[in-house]
Amino acid sequence: MIEFTVESINGANIDNEFEFTVLNAKAGQTISRTHISEQPNFDKIEYLEDYKINKSLNNYLFMKGKVKVCYEWDETNSIEQRDIDKIQEIYSVNNLEDTHANKTITDNSFTYEIDHGGYVTEWKERSTNYELSSHKSSITSLQDDTILICCLQRNYGYKFYNVDIQPNESIDTNKIGDTTYLLVGEDCEVTVPATNKTHTFNQYDCKKLTSNNCSIKNISDNICRVVMICK
């Protein structure tokens, strides 16, 4: 069973390709599952060869606040120390936030805590793109006004990239994939060099990117996480 205890504050259907919901969580509120097969698109799951690790099917995008992510298992999962070592290796190589995470490992669980501190300073495939293949998994908010975005794909196959932009700063961005959308966590301006036009994105806007490149400027007073949804 998948359980939600968080509040939905925004969302949209984007071109019938995917739907997203903005979730505002108070401290202690949780999203959890009790079996790995409960996830949408489980028939598309991809495992890392020779490890109890899979490409993540849960499309929860961490946008703001602080969270604890926990994987728990029993003997039916057959997770071993080599699997834990491998997932930590993947995180250390792929996740710019990894050095800021506080990790706890027990005989039957792997947990890490992370805040949104603007650590992703270049476009990277989303954090926790891989996860342990445990039945039980949960995301718990550790402070009020933690923001997660749940993205449900109607047309499976999208990848997620993210970057953090400091207030009043910009990042040059190249389009990835044939079909690409930008979703912003704060108010932004997106300038397209080819047309010399600037487009305003309000907080949680998600719009299609048709040009090959653009510049994204954070015009808010907060660190802004921008997500590129593409395939």
Domain boundaries, the chain: 2-151, 158-230
Output the pLDDT for position 3: 62
Q: Report how far residue 3's alpha carbon sits from residue 56's, in angstroms, rounded to the nearest whole number.
A: 18
Q: What is the pTM assigned to this prediction?
A: 0.93
Own/partner pairs, 88-96, CB within 8 angstroms, 24+ separation: 90/53, 90/130, 91/127, 91/128, 94/124, 94/125, 94/127, 94/129, 94/130, 95/124, 95/127, 95/128, 96/120, 96/121, 96/122, 96/124
Instruction: Spell out the CATH class of 158-230.
Output: mainly beta
pLDDT(31) > 70: yes
Q: Is the pLDDT of residue 4 over 70?
A: no
Instruction: Compute the average pLDDT of residues 43-59.
Output: 89
pLDDT at 2: 55
Residue 10's pLDDT band, with cuts at 50, 70 and 90, is confident
Q: Is the pLDDT of residue 41 over 90?
A: no
